[in-house]
Amino acid sequence: MVGGLVGSSILWLLAFIQDWPNSASSIGSMFIGFSAFLFFGTLMVAMFGLIAGLIGSWWLVARLSGEVTFKRVVFESAGMGAVLGIACLLVAISLQWALTTPFVMVLPIWMGTGIVCGVGLPLFFRKFKLVSKY
Closest by CA to 11, choosing from 89, 94, 95, is 89
* Integer Cα distance of 82 and 95 in angstroms: 20
* Integer Cα distance of 110 and 89 in angstroms: 7
* Integer Cα distance of 64 and 131 in angstroms: 7
For 72-117, what is each residue's pLDDT tens digit?
Answer: 989 999 999 999 888 888 887 777 765 556 777 778 888 888 898 8
Domain spans, the chain: 2-127
Is there a contact between 133 and 65 (Cβ–Cβ < 8 Å)? yes
Closest by CA to 46, choosing from 5, 87, 95, 102, is 5
Is there a contact between 35 and 5 (Cβ–Cβ < 8 Å)? no
pTM: 0.70
For 19-71, what is each residue's pLDDT tens digit?
Answer: 666 655 566 666 776 777 667 766 777 778 788 888 888 888 888 877 888 89
